[in-house]
Amino acid sequence: QPSIALRNVSFAYKAGAAPVLADISLDIQPGQHVAIVGTSGAGKSTIANLLLRFWDPQQGTVAIGGVDLRRLRLDELRNLIAVVSQRNYIFNSTIGDNIRMGRPGASQAEVEQAARRANLAEWIASLPQGYDTPVGEMGSKVSGGQRQRIAIARALLKDAPILILDEATSNLDVETEREVNAAIHELARGRTVLTIAHRLSTVRTASEILVLEQGRIAERGTHAELLRRNGVYARIFELQQDEVDARLDGAVVPA
């Protein structure tokens, strides 16, 4: 399990533009779960993009296992990382083919084992075509929760040592989120995990939470520590709790 380190990282998408990230430093130890939270536009997903080397920082370094990413071949780097995001790419093929993308040479038994661990097996068994069921363009023939669990099964099959969860449950209803989170818990076991989230309910168990505000780390600590500090994290948490309460109140049907 490799470590992840960002050292004094600054990044802007265009020359001369305001930095999206400014002097960010963080360490994720092997097997540790670190979460990055903040409001929309705070720079959270940019960190994931830098780890995958979609871009390189203008200042500072990003390293995995002590090696600067610029010294790794892209295929080497991406073999180390599995990603489950808000919008996973689902090919216009079958359920089995989409899971097998995680490791193209995998056997059918390995694909089915990954599906079981992602809580997909019962649903797939109920389908007349089983693993040969077409999912449609961008997964249009399956639900949002099923698409997420297909992506989780794909990541389980890939078995990479680093896992990035980028807003992985942000578009799901409460019940589906609970089911997907159970599959994510299985996926995260024994890996170095970076969770990027807007919804704070998904990061409470992280060993460290970093709060980004305008591209800088405003706070860091555990969920309990950040609530006690009564700062940015506590304010976001309170606002989100109010939103949840309002939704629940709206769902109450008068007797």
* Ordered DSSP codes for 8-48: EEEE-SSTTSPPSEEEEEEEE-TT-EEEEE-STTSSHHHHH
Do 145 and 114 have their domain in common?
yes
* Alpha carbon distance 102, 127 (integer Å): 22
Does residue 185 belong to any structural domain of this protein?
Answer: no
Q: Does 97 lie in the same domain as 62?
A: no
Percent pLDDT > 90 in the chain is 64
**Residue-range definition of the domain harbouring residue 132:** 87-159
Judge whether residue 96 has pLDDT over 90: yes
Q: Is residue 29 in some structural domain? A: yes
Residue 217 within a domain: yes
Interaxial angle between packed helices 174-188 and 108-117, expressed in degrees from 0 to 180 and rounded to the nearest 10: 120
Domain membership of residue 178 (yes or no) is: no
Same domain, yes or no, for 41 and 107? no
* Position 102 confidence tier, pLDDT thresholds 50, 70, 90: very high
Task: Please tell me the predicted confidence (pLDDT) of residue 249.
Answer: 56
Q: How confident is the model at residue 253 (pLDDT cuts 50, 70, 90)?
A: very low
Domain check: are 64 and 98 in the same one?
no
**Number of structural domains the chain divides into:** 2
Residue 252: band (very low, low, confident or very high) from pLDDT cuts 50, 70, 90: very low
Asked if pLDDT for residue 82 goes beyond 80, the answer is: yes
Whether residues 10 and 47 fall in one domain? yes
* CATH number, domain with residue 111: 3.40.50.300
Q: Higher model confidence: residue 227 or residue 248? A: 227
Q: What is the mean pLDDT of the chain?
A: 89
Strand partners, 195: 35, 165
* Judgement on whether residues 236 and 252 belong to the same structural domain of the protein: yes
Whether residue 181 is contained in a domain is answered as no
Evaluate whether residue 180 is within a structural domain.
no
> What tens digit of pLDDT does each residue of 35-76 get?
999 877 778 889 999 999 999 999 999 999 999 999 999 999
* pLDDT surpassing 60 at residue 251: no
